[in-house]
């Protein structure tokens, strides 16, 4: 019995091994590789299809834009789309006739004069349409220059006013000389034989500083020395009251 059982076991063992499949065999590896290759090819095909679609849509857009540009160009040169360049076949067969009855009092050149006037008016209208931007820029530049000139004039007025006020306040405190308002008078002999003398007024302050600097210097002097503001037109008790009431040391600070 033991020999028979052993034989049965031996005969059954190869069947069991045959039933177990080897997933690492060439059969399965080949199938996996085929699937991968197929997926890669499918993906590449999708990319290629999308690329073709994009190129087609881009061509359509380019054609559409080109068509629009062509239409605009034709409009600019006053040519209808579909028409041909050059002379049309619908020309005049007979020459223009001169209406002598209408020209009796006007003369033969009057019609051409009217045409010239019409042409001038047409060009004037074109200028009115095409040059508003240029005129606007010129106007801005003109207003800018005018504003600059007005500011210079205001500075000159402020300097004159400040120097006069400074002189009056200094004289109240017996100040006899001050560069801010003093104008030195110098005599110069120009002819010894006749004895002619020329008197020149020398304003060193005005010669050495521009108007804007003159205003700043005098305004600071009036504030520190006399507690006075030329734009407020008021003399304060002290610097504390000056700082509390006066808005600033420029014309712009006073909204003038």
Q: pLDDT tens digits, residue range 133-150?
A: 667 788 888 888 888 888
Examine the pLDDT at 54 and tell me if it is beyond 70. no
Roughly what angle, to the nearest 10 degrees, separates helices 132-172 and 211-226? Answer: 40
Q: Which of 12-21, 98-107, 171-180 has the highest mean pLDDT?
A: 171-180
What is the dihedral sign for C-alpha 75, 80, 82, 84? Answer: negative
pLDDT digits (tens, 9 = 90+) for 179-229: 888 775 555 555 555 555 555 666 778 888 888 888 999 999 999 999 999
Q: How much is the average pLDDT of 71-93?
A: 56
pLDDT digits (tens, 9 = 90+) for 224-254: 999 999 889 899 999 999 999 999 888 888 8
Tell if the pTM clears 0.85, that is, is over it: no
């Amino acid at each position: 019995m033991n020999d028979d059982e052993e034989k049965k076991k031996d005969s059954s063992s190869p069947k069991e091994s045959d039933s177990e499949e080897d997933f690492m065999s060439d059969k399965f590896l080949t199938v996996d590789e085929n699937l991968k290759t197929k997926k890669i090819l499918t993906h590449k095909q999708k990319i290629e299809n999308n690329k073709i679609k994009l190129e087609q849509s881009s061509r359509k857009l380019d054609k559409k834009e080109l068509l629009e540009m062509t239409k605009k160009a034709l409009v600019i040169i006053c040519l209808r789309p579909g028409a041909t360049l050059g002379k049309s076949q619908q020309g005049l067969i007979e020459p223009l006739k001169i209406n002598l009855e209408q020209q009796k009092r006007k003369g033969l050149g009057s019609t051409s004069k009217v045409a010239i006037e019409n042409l001038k008016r047409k060009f004037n209208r074109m200028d009115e349409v095409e040059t508003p931007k240029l005129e606007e820029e010129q106007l801005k530049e003109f207003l800018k220059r005018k504003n600059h000139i007005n500011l210079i004039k205001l500075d000159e007025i402020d300097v004159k006013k400040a120097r006069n006020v400074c002189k009056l306040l200094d004289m109240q405190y017996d100040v006899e000389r001050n560069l801010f308002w003093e104008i030195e008078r110098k005599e110069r002999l120009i002819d010894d034989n006749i004895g002619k003398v020329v008197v020149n007024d020398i304003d060193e302050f005005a010669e050495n500083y521009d108007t804007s600097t003159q205003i700043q210097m005098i305004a600071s002097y009036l504030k520190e020395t006399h507690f006075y503001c030329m734009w407020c037109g008021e003399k304060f008790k002290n610097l504390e009251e000056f700082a509390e009431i006066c808005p600033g040391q420029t014309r712009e600070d006073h909204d003038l």
